[in-house]
Amino acid sequence: METGICEVCLKNDMLCEGCSKKLENGEISEKAVEISRYLYSLAEEYSYLEDIEVNEIYVGEEVIVIVVKKEDVGKVVGKGGEIVKKLAGRVERAIRVVEMAKDVKKFSQNLLPDVKVYGVNRVFSPDEDYYKIIVSSDDSRRIMLKEDEFSEVVERVTGERVKLSFR
């Protein structure tokens, strides 16, 4: 299993120097460490979890986004959603498992599966360049992340700045 922390740290309660620095620098969070370790412990019961690669764990106020390779989405969700349900019960938040994509449009659509995305436009301005993700205002309640959380997770995964815009 590959996560934001090394395998030694997945097995132990303490973090090595390298993983501690990631935590200090904000590359990973305490909650992401907890989730990584819990997924690792579940691999004893669900052996297919041993092969997964977790690219990012983003902890929002109401939802936790776990970003994995396309072929790992089903593994992390589990049969009938059993792994996600266990995770959600453990962290007391909703869990959204999302396919990794470096493309802003594709990743945004993966992150907003139940939302109509009208467009993804590149905006060039004197102050900053960013992508504007245009979605239906009718779907705003379906977006489990706040606007700033959405922007942050997309930027962490794609490296590009984004802003949600409602139509």
Residues 18, 158: Cα–Cα separation, whole Å? 23
Q: How far is it, in rounded angstroms, from Cα 105 to Cα 103?
A: 6
User: Which residues are CB-contacts of 148 (< 8 A; sequence separation ≥ 6)?
Assistant: none
For the chain, 167 residues long, give each residue's pLDDT as a single digit of tens.
999 999 999 999 999 999 999 999 999 999 999 999 999 999 999 999 999 999 999 999 999 999 999 999 999 999 999 999 999 999 999 999 999 999 999 999 999 988 988 999 999 989 999 999 999 989 888 888 999 999 999 999 999 999 999 98
> What domains does the chain contain, in order, with CATH numbers?
7-99 (3.30.300.20), 104-166 (3.30.300.20)
Q: What is the pTM of this model?
A: 0.92
Q: Residue 37: which of 15, 64, 70, 69 has the closest Cα?
A: 15
Helices marked H in the chain: 7-11, 17-24, 30-42, 73-77, 82-91, 104-111, 147-158
